[in-house]
């Protein structure tokens, strides 16, 4: 019994000490002007701190400012880049710690991550917050203009200063995630940059199919408004190359009885799209641009094969290879503008190219979107955007074909509203 009591007391003591340690855990937000280095600092702080958004600056004790120089064209010519990380305590804006790391661009994030906590942990823990702060917090915000704060030339140092030097913290960062077909809108403004991002949204759309030069006037125009749900998952699997990403996206609309004939008969209609994309992003003048290559399939079908007088319109299965660009421009710490566009080279069109329709048809497509994202929390964002997918065809008819038409356009106008979550 006595030994059991002693064991219980030891366990309780350990739990109590753990509780004290957890209660004093610094709370950290890391953002900056280079997404790769910011991600490395976040990972280095890891479980030693709790990471929150800049909205909790009132209870923060420290601001960690990340700057990478040179920038722009000079960065492309430079053999090495310099990362400067400064710790400023919130109580009086005094600089209490600094480290400088210089390395090649590809190796810089890893080099910073290896020494970040070793060089800055003590300064973060000792920094003082505003009077009345309920717990110690360390917050990293974006870097000031490199022309105002010039980095040191040493490889890595950490020197608390006795004389307060006020600094001005700004919050300009941009991190991005794009998919090959359905845009996965995540990480707006200072949202955390994680290895995985997941988005779910609602996507109403309107399909508009039109025929050109229908000589026999037998082809039907087609219009349908419907709703779909979308899902996107984006991963950054390469630790040494955090700007490279792989993305899977898709949407699905099922059980839509919106296809009707003149007598009011409705036919079940289905629509779906999926894609797999690989991409890489770069930072240009505060914005982020990513190029991606993708393969996917967009399908639209109507259950009208037994209809008297023939099908309403041909079912289509657009299989495509896509190349495109995605851009994200931070407007302020909470809002980010999102733009994207791409070209779809059609590898197949499904029933549209069958012998009963247009066996010699050829065509391609393009897509684009514009929208905005709002940062709700560090790991959660809400977004809305307008989308367009447009396919165009030359039918290349010959005498004796079952159906004669010069061309066609198949347009999908729509949008999306949804939520995106970033997973560390």
In whole angstroms, how large is the CA radius of gyration of the chain?
28
Widest distance between CA atoms in the chain:
102
Would the pTM of this model clear 0.75, i.e. be above it?
no
Half-sphere exposure of 394 (CA within 13 A, CB side): 3
Residue 70: cis peptide before it, omega within 30 degrees of 0: yes
Q: Where are the domains of the chain?
A: 27-173, 196-423
pLDDT 10s per residue in the chain (424 long)? 444 444 444 444 444 444 433 345 677 677 787 888 888 888 887 767 766 566 666 666 777 888 888 888 788 888 889 999 988 777 777 887 899 999 988 889 989 888 888 888 888 877 777 664 444 444 545 445 444 444 444 444 444 444 444 443 333 333 333 333 444 433 333 455 668 999 999 999 999 999 999 887 889 899 999 999 999 999 999 988 888 999 999 999 976 866 666 556 678 899 999 999 999 999 887 789 999 999 999 999 988 776 655 677 899 999 999 999 999 998 987 899 999 999 999 999 999 999 889 999 999 999 999 999 999 988 899 999 999 999 999 999 998 888 899 999 999 999 999 999 998 7
Closest Cα partner for 410 from 367, 370, 374, 373? 367
Helices (H), 157-252: none
DSSP-derived letter for residue 338 is: E
Q: Report the distance separating Cα 82 and Cα 67, nearest Å.
A: 8
Q: Report the distance separating Cα 373 and Cα 278, nearest Å.
A: 22
Give the tokens for residue 133. 């702060």
Sign of CA dihedral 27, 31, 35, 41: negative
Q: Does domain 196-423 have CATH number 3.40.50.12160?
A: no
Sign of CA dihedral 118, 124, 126, 127: positive
185, 253, 367 from 272: Cα distances, Å: 19, 6, 16
Architecture of domain 27-173: 3-Layer(aba) Sandwich (3.40)
3-state secondary structure at position 59: helix
Q: Report the distance separating Cα 315 and Cα 304, nearest Å.
A: 10
Question: In this predicted structure, what is the pLDDT of residue 193?
Answer: 61
By the 8 A CB rule, do 388 and 368 touch? yes
Taking 3-state DSSP, the helix, strand and coil percentages for the chain, each rounded to the nearest 5, stand at 15, 45, 35
Q: Report the distance separating Cα 285 and Cα 112, nearest Å.
A: 22
Q: Report the distance separating Cα 63 and Cα 81, nearest Å.
A: 22
């Amino acid at each position: 019994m006595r030994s059991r009591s002693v064991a219980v007391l030891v366990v309780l003591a350990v739990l109590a000490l753990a509780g004290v340690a957890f209660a004093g855990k610094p709370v950290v937000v890391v953002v900056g002007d280079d997404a790769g280095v910011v991600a490395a600092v976040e990972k280095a702080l890891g479980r030693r701190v709790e990471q929150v958004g800049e909205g909790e600056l009132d209870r923060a004790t420290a601001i960690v400012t990340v700057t990478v120089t040179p920038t722009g064209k000079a960065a492309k010519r430079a053999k090495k880049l310099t990362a400067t990380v400064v710790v400023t305590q919130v109580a009086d804006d005094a600089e209490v710690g600094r480290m400088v790391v210089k390395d090649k661009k590809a190796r810089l994030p890893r080099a910073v991550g290896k020494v970040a906590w070793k060089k800055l942990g003590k300064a973060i823990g000792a920094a003082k917050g505003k009077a009345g702060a309920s717990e110690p917090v360390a917050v990293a915000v974006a870097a000031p203009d490199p022309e105002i704060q010039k980095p040191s030339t040493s490889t890595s140092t950490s020197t608390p200063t006795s004389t307060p030097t006020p600094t001005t913290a700004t919050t300009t960062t941009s991190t991005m995630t794009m998919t090959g077909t359905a845009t996965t809108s995540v990480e707006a403004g200072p949202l955390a940059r994680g290895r995985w991002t997941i988005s779910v949204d609602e996507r109403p759309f309107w399909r508009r199919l039109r025929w050109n030069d229908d000589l026999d006037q037998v082809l039907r125009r087609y219009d349908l408004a419907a709703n779909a749900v979308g899902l996107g998952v984006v991963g950054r699997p390469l630790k040494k190359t955090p700007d490279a990403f792989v993305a899977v996206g898709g949407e699905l609309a099922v059980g839509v009885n919106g296809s009707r004939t003149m007598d009011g008969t409705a036919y079940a209609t289905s629509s779906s799209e999926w894609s797999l994309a690989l991409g890489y992003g770069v930072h240009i003048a505060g914005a982020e641009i990513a190029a991606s290559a993708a393969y996917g399939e967009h399908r639209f079908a109507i259950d009208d094969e037994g209809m008297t007088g023939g099908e309403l319109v041909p079912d289509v299965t657009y299989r495509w290879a896509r190349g495109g660009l995605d851009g994200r421009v931070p407007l302020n710490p909470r809002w980010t503008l999102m733009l994207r566009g791409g070209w779809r080279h059609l590898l197949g069109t499904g029933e549209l190219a069958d012998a009963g329709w247009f066996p010699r048809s050829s065509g391609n497509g393009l897509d684009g979107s514009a929208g905005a994202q709002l940062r709700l929390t560090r790991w959660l964002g809400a977004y809305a955007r307008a989308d367009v997918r447009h396919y165009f065809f030359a039918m290349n008819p010959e005498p004796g074909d079952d159906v004669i038409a010069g061309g066609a356009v198949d347009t999908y106008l729509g949008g999306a509203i949804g939520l995106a979550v970033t997973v560390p």
